[in-house]
């Protein structure tokens, strides 16, 4: 009888049984599930941002050289950004099916609006006299871009990259509609079953992931622009 009473008391003290928002036991008992969701979330974020940056940079360089392309290209990117994520993912499903590819394509398209504009702004912000001085020293267009313009535009480009990354971390959760939402899968499951610890844990991890990604990119920016530290 004493054992039964003790067992009943243990159950009532169990935060999982009481369905509390903060529950360490949830983290310990569901560690593999949480890590798998976090890994998928991180992977989709990194792939989407990297692909977005690789596509955005040549687009920004092209727009800067051929200004007549600025309005239609930036307009198209803005139009895509106005499409709700649920609708965009649904439009992609017939072509890419219920896969992580659907989420990645959607997130790359969203990131282009931010990245192309910031990259273009950074390149346009390079002083004209600096360009002329470099040309006077014999710099060709390619060397001028990589050795002079890109380093000077880097702070603005990195600022856009940080915004795009944080935005992507948030949008990955919507990928739950195609069963590839990373931590969003846990949030959805928790909401469906009213599992408070699951909802809160996954939400907090999303915020932590966004903050760590932003701080990491800030560190990269500081490492790549040592002259700014000297100026400060």
pLDDT tens by residue, 38-53:
999 999 999 999 999 9
Task: Kindly state whether residue 3 falls inside one of the protein's structural domains.
Answer: no
Read off the pLDDT band of 104 (50, 70, 90).
Answer: very high
Read off the pLDDT band of 6 (50, 70, 90).
Answer: very low
Read off the pLDDT band of 69 (50, 70, 90).
Answer: confident
> Where are the alpha helices (H) located in the chain, listed in sequence order?
2-13, 24-29, 31-65, 70-81, 85-96, 100-124, 128-136, 141-144, 150-172, 183-193, 196-224, 226-231
Task: Kindly state whether residue 148 falls inside one of the protein's structural domains.
Answer: yes
C-alpha–C-alpha distance, residues 198 and 10, integer Å: 21
Asked whether residue 37 carries a pLDDT value surpassing 50, the answer given is: yes
pLDDT attached to residue 229: 61
Task: Kindly state whether residue 114 falls inside one of the protein's structural domains.
Answer: yes
Asked whether residue 230 carries a pLDDT value surpassing 70, the answer given is: no
Q: In the numeric block, which tokens belong to residue 115? A: 């990245």
Task: Kindly state whether residue 50 falls inside one of the protein's structural domains.
Answer: yes
- What total of structural domains would you count in the chain? 1
Asked whether residue 8 carries a pLDDT value surpassing 60, the answer given is: no
Chain segment 158-199, per-residue pLDDT in tens: 999 999 999 999 989 988 888 888 899 999 898 998 888 899
CA-nearest of 38, 116, 136, 131 to 70 is 116
Query: For residues 87, 92, 94 and 97, what is the CA-based torsion angle, rounded to 10 degrees?
Result: -110
Report angle CA 204, 209, 211 to the nearest 5 degrees: 95
Task: Kindly state whether residue 17 falls inside one of the protein's structural domains.
Answer: no
pLDDT attached to residue 217: 93
Chain segment 113-124, per-residue pLDDT in tens: 899 999 999 888
CA-nearest of 133, 179, 177, 123 to 154 is 123
Read off the pLDDT band of 131 (50, 70, 90).
Answer: confident
Task: Kindly state whether residue 210 falls inside one of the protein's structural domains.
Answer: yes
Query: For residues 196, 202, 208 and 211, what is the CA-based torsion angle, rounded to 10 degrees?
Result: -110
CATH classification of the domain holding 61: 1.10.3720.10
Asked whether residue 130 carries a pLDDT value surpassing 90, the answer given is: no
Task: Kindly state whether residue 7 falls inside one of the protein's structural domains.
Answer: no
C-alpha–C-alpha distance, residues 37 and 115, integer Å: 27
Sorted by sequence, the CB contacts under 8 Å of residue 124 that are 6+ apart come out as 64
Task: Kindly state whether residue 164 falls inside one of the protein's structural domains.
Answer: yes
pLDDT attached to residue 118: 92
Domain that holds residue 211: 24-223
């Amino acid at each position: 009888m004493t054992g039964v009473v003790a067992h009943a008391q243990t159950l009532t003290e169990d935060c999982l049984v009481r369905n509390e928002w903060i529950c360490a036991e949830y983290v310990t008992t569901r560690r593999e599930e949480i890590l798998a969701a976090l890994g998928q979330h991180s992977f989709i974020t990194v792939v989407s941002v990297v692909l977005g940056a690789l596509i955005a940079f040549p687009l920004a360089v092209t727009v800067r050289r051929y200004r007549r392309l600025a309005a239609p290209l930036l307009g198209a990117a803005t139009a895509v950004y106005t499409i709700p994520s649920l609708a965009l993912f649904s439009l992609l499903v017939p072509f890419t099916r219920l896969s992580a590819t659907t989420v990645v394509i959607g997130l790359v398209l969203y990131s282009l609006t931010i990245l192309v504009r910031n990259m273009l702004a950074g390149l346009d912000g390079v002083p004209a006299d600096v360009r002329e001085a470099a040309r006077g020293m014999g710099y060709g267009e390619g060397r001028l871009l990589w050795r002079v313009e890109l380093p000077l535009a880097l702070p603005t480009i990195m600022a856009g990259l940080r915004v795009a990354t944080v935005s992507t971390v948030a949008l990955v959760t919507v990928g739950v509609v195609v069963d590839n939402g990373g931590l969003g899968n846990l949030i959805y499951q928790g909401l469906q079953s009213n599992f408070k610890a699951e909802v809160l844990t996954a939400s907090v991890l999303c915020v932590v992931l966004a903050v760590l990604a932003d701080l990491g990119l800030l560190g990269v920016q500081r490492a790549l622009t040592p002259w700014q530290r000297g100026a400060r």
